[in-house]
Amino acid sequence: MRKFQKMLCLVLVAALMLGVMSACNGDKGDDEKIVIGAICPLTGEAALWGNVLVDTLKMLVDQTNEAGGILGRQIELKTYDNRDDAVETTNAARKAIENDKVVAFIGTEASATSIPLSEVCTEYGIPMITHIATNSKVTVSDSGEVRKYVFRSCLSDPQVGAIFGTYVAEEMDVKRIAAIYNIGSDYSIGVKNEFVKAFTAAGGTVSMELAYNTGDVDFRAQLSNLKDADDFDAIYLASSTYKEIGLIANQARALGLNQPLLCLNAMLAEDIFNIAGENIEGSTFISLSNVDSELVEQFKADFLAFNGCDCAENIAGDAYLAYDAYKMLTTAIEKAGKVDSEEICKALSEIKDLQGLTCKISVNAENHNTIRETPIYRIEDQEFVIVDMYTAKS
């Protein structure tokens, strides 16, 4: 009798340990919801971009659940306000994993907060997809090792820089540029450096680099320096906000600087025409997504019906890339066949020609970069016009 009781205890202990291991690995059982977390700023100056991520995911989760969920289970979205702060991001991520049983994250809206999130996800073995953080360190550590659990749906800084820097030098026949960047933004510094690297490698010359600080609205000191030098063919603006671009464009034209403006995805905002009007006519910029894709119209209609606003006005790129991140995650969960971190990450690394919202998406398993088509736009008659298309290298 004692031997039987001892054997029974061993069996129960083994079963308990198996359950604990299964829970740690992310598999919650067939009856429970699959909990996905979104960490982003929901208050403060950066809340515009955090809210568009959350609004997009809420809509997509509802659509998924109405269609029967994933693997026969419903999706639950948990959102966390990181106030655009690295420490808040880390704290929110730990709470999400330990208390709320989040099995995967989408976010954040910036590299400065996505890097700390990626470190927590690496520590706990939780999959993460950033939709808009372009810094290479999000998916690759300082030591050069790929972060096993971290992926992106957008392009990286080196990919964007390689495309746009080469395009400007070779296709626009621009020989010399002046660069203006935000010294308080890791993103601005990163994309500026990568652009300069590609532009000079293609034979271009950077005549001057001038910095401003986050929150600045008067750029006339920097622009006056450019006017005095007058030895460049175009002005490269490494800004992450269309408001900054609009203000710089207005002040540049007022000072008599009429060189073409070269910008980033932030220019893809209808409101920029209200700010700068004719002053941005002829500007060229690279976008992270093709807003003219055939599938976009239905998404815009759904977003308007669900959230009551037109995502195409100022937040289109963020919304479209958030859609792609969600599509990557749900596709990987379905392929894995269960909510298992290792299997989900394996499925993510094997994504090839997945139809996203604006193009097909593949993942480079070596560095977790996304291979996707990206357009070059020019502003003509107050319209965004695609002038070329490129597929990013790995």
Cis preceding-peptide flag for 108 (omega within 30 of 0): yes
Instruction: State the Cα–Cα distance between residues 230 and 106, nearest whole angstrom.
Output: 45
The closest of 327, 313, 311 to 359, measured between CA atoms, is 327
173: left (phi over 0), alpha (psi -120 to 50) or beta: left
Q: 38, 54 in Cβ contact below 8 A?
A: yes
- For tokens 């293609």, the residue is 202
Task: Provide the residue-wise pLDDT of the chain in tens; the chain has 394 residues.
Answer: 444 444 434 433 344 343 434 444 545 455 699 999 999 999 998 888 899 999 999 999 999 999 999 999 999 999 999 999 999 999 999 999 999 999 999 989 889 999 999 999 999 999 999 999 999 999 999 888 999 999 999 999 999 999 999 999 999 989 999 999 999 888 899 899 999 999 999 999 999 999 999 899 999 999 999 998 878 999 999 998 899 999 999 999 999 999 999 999 889 888 899 999 999 999 999 998 888 888 888 998 999 999 888 776 666 678 999 999 999 999 999 999 999 999 999 999 999 999 999 999 999 999 999 999 999 999 999 999 999 999 887 7
**What per-residue confidence (pLDDT) applies to 392?**
81
Instruction: State the Cα–Cα distance between residues 323 and 318, nearest whole angstrom.
Output: 9
**What per-residue confidence (pLDDT) applies to 45?**
84
- For tokens 């992106």, the residue is 152
Q: Take residue 211 and report the two structure tokens written for it.
A: 């910095």
**What per-residue confidence (pLDDT) applies to 142?**
87
**What per-residue confidence (pLDDT) applies to 312?**
66
Three-class DSSP category at 125: coil
Q: 319, 309 in Cβ contact below 8 A?
A: no
Q: Which CATH code fits 158-287+376-391? A: 3.40.50.2300
Q: Take residue 286 and report the two structure tokens written for it.
A: 């690279």
Can you say how many angstroms the Cα of residue 341 is from the centroid of all Cα atoms in its chain?
A: 21
**What per-residue confidence (pLDDT) applies to 316?**
67
**What per-residue confidence (pLDDT) applies to 27?**
53
What are the sequence ranges of the domains in the chain? 34-155+294-363, 158-287+376-391
Cα–Cα separations (whole angstroms), residue 72 to 35, 218, 324, 334: 14, 55, 22, 10
pLDDT tens by residue, 121-147: 999 999 999 999 999 999 999 888 999
Q: 389, 376 in Cβ contact below 8 A?
A: yes
**What per-residue confidence (pLDDT) applies to 192?**
94
**What per-residue confidence (pLDDT) applies to 10?**
41
Instruction: State the Cα–Cα distance between residues 59 and 103, nearest whole angstrom.
Output: 19
Superfamily of domain 34-155+294-363 in the CATH hierarchy: Response regulator (3.40.50.2300)
Instruction: State the Cα–Cα distance between residues 245 and 263, nearest whole angstrom.
Output: 8
Q: Take residue 64 and report the two structure tokens written for it.
A: 């998924």
Q: Take residue 131 and report the two structure tokens written for it.
A: 């939709």
Domains 34-155+294-363 and 158-287+376-391 share a fold: yes
pTM score above 0.85: yes
What residues does 389 pair with on adjacent strands? 375
Q: Are strands 128-130 and 104-107 parallel, antiparallel or unpaired?
A: parallel
pLDDT tens by residue, 164-213: 999 999 999 899 999 999 998 888 998 999 999 999 999 999 999 999 99
